[in-house]
Amino acid sequence: MSITRRSARAILLHGDEFVLIKRTKPGREPYWVTVGGGVEDEDASIEDALHREVFEELGGKLSRAELVFLITDSLDGGVGVQHIFAARLERMDIEARTGSEFDKPERGGYEVVRIPFTAEAIRQIKLMPPELAEFAAGNIEAITAVLDAQIASVPVTQTAIRPIE
């Protein structure tokens, strides 16, 4: 089977808070989702799609994003892959968001919310999909450590490539 849909989503942290979107639809119990969406043809990479989605949905900018998890879904005619990043939100301006979904009342409400980034807080809400909720709640310390790790920079002044003899 081939991959027919890719999406980029973020376990998005601002300080020690988890930034989510609370979805409300008529006739359905509220649920929460992470910021993100589908990868489009004009996105240069999956991470670029994430940056675009963060801007569209939050008017936001990321300071860091690291791929931490994949979720695979069976779809009609193929497979969907959700690329889950751990990310730090540098800034957000809800007034600057541009996503087309905000102009469609039939799609329901999209409320930006913050909860503590703790297993207890995550388990108290209906975070979708369940695999993502389980991963986030079970990896609080690891996700935080990935985002707080200093990236070693290697000077690129000399090349260490030698011809094969």
Residue 165 has pLDDT above 90, yes or no: no
Domain assignment present for residue 31? The answer is: yes
Residue 159 has pLDDT above 50, yes or no: no
**For residues 69 and 135, what is the distance between their CA atoms, to the nearest angstrom?**
8
Residue 105 has pLDDT above 90, yes or no: no
Domain assignment present for residue 155? The answer is: no
Given pLDDT bands bounded at 50, 70 and 90, which one contains residue 158? very low
**Three-class SS state of 30:** coil
Domain assignment present for residue 124? The answer is: yes
Residue 140 has pLDDT above 70, yes or no: yes
Domain assignment present for residue 119? The answer is: yes
Domain assignment present for residue 165? The answer is: no
Domain assignment present for residue 160? The answer is: no
Q: How many domains does the chain fold into?
A: 1
**For residues 91 and 7, what is the distance between their CA atoms, to the nearest angstrom?**
22
How much is the average pLDDT of 134-161? 76
Structural domain range at position 97: 3-148
How much is the average pLDDT of 107-124? 94
Q: What residues pair up with 113 in beta bridges, in sequence order?
A: 20
Domain assignment present for residue 29? The answer is: yes
List the single range of 40-44, 69-73, 149-153, 160-164 with lowest mean pLDDT.
160-164
Residue 81 has pLDDT above 50, yes or no: yes
Residue identified by tokens 């005619």 is 77
As a whole-number percent, the residues of the chain with pLDDT over 70 amount to: 85
Domain assignment present for residue 154? The answer is: no
**Cis omega before residue 129 (within 30°)?**
yes
Higher pLDDT, residue 150 or 114: 114
Higher pLDDT, residue 160 or 146: 146
Q: How many CA atoms lie within 13 A of 46 on its CB side?
A: 16
Q: What residues pair up with 151 in beta bridges, in sequence order?
A: none
Instruction: Please answer whether residues 36 and 61 qualify as being in contact, where contact means their C-beta atoms are separated by less than 8 angstroms.
Output: no
Q: Tell me, what CATH number does 127's domain have?
A: 3.90.79.10
How much is the average pLDDT of 73-102? 88
* Residue spans of beta strands (DSSP E) within 92-158: 109-116, 127-128
* Residue spans of beta strands (DSSP E) within the chain: 3-14, 17-24, 31-33, 35-38, 61-75, 78-91, 109-116, 127-128
Residue 118 has pLDDT above 70, yes or no: yes
